[in-house]
Structure 1
């Protein structure tokens, strides 16, 4: 990447985001400034941030979701419908979904980094209730993060249709979770 050889010191301006773990009832992502020099370090940061996002969705923590999402975030569901940043945050604030499970399956997460862009893929289990209707799904997703002056931000997501078999979708209601 040509800008990495920038004599003005692009690398020195790169930001490293780390996740500060707080008690479960107040857990949130915190941005700390530090230089990042490797794709491996960036991948670890983005991995932790994606897990923090999944936890925030599970808790309906609209403040944490707001801090993690890029201002122009979009989610494309497996059926082609588009969910905006504002819709994701409003859904969390309203507490429309009560999650029993909203977790990446251990060992399925992969993070790939290309400069200021990172893609997370993982299999996600979501189970709970939305407006009195139970749901249970297993799906794959791809989450795109971009490096901003304020750290890594979650900019785009695409979720598969529910996988067949155990845990497949039992309702058509959008259950968020990405």
Structure 2
């Protein structure tokens, strides 16, 4: 398997762990010094992500992506693309169209997400109209 395919596999495993609220898998897939920026621009550390996605109050029901680009530079994997995510937070539905960039580091336990950043964008063909509430702790 190429290093690029290994990063793709780690990216897919991370998304699967988010969708299933699998805190144990997230714990394995996130670097110890993980940090991310939510679509609101707020810094989220590793523990905040584990707490949010390990609870039953947050769920991701849909995650579609396109335009995925993966590069490997030394021991760093870079994943960029566009996506649509939706789910619920404390029973309230949310949805977002995003551009994202995730950085993975090659550690002794495999590729782990080290840095994640998502920016909310207007949905395709919306003419710039916003969709859905943006007040939730979801980082994708």
Which of the five TM-score ranges fits, normalised by the shorter chain? Answer: 0.7 to 0.9
TM-score for both structures, normalised by structure 2: 0.87
Deviations 1:86-143 (A, max 9, x none): 11111122122232202323xx111011111110012121112111221111101100
> Once superposed, what is the RMSD of the aligned Cα atoms?
2.0
Structure 2 gap ranges (5+): none
Matched residue of 1:170: which SS? coil
Q: Give the 3 Å change call, closer, same or farther, for CA 134–102 of structure 1 in structure 2.
A: same
Structure 1 gap ranges (5+): 1-17, 19-40
TM-score for both structures, normalised by structure 1: 0.70
User: What is the match of residue 22 of structure 1?
Assistant: none
How far does residue 147 in structure 1 lie from its aligned partner after superposition?
A: 1.1
How far does residue 168 in structure 1 lie from its aligned partner after superposition?
A: 4.7
Q: Which runs of 4+ in 1 moved over 6 A?
A: none
User: What is the match of residue 71 of structure 1?
Assistant: 32
Q: Which has the larger radius of gyration?
A: 1
Q: 2:53 aligns with which of 68, 82, 92?
A: 92
Q: 2:91 aligns with which of 129, 132, 135?
A: 132
Identify the structure with bigger relative contact order (alpha carbons < 8 Å, sequence gap 6+). 2
Which structure carries more helix by proportion? 1
User: What is the match of residue 114 of structure 2?
Assistant: 155
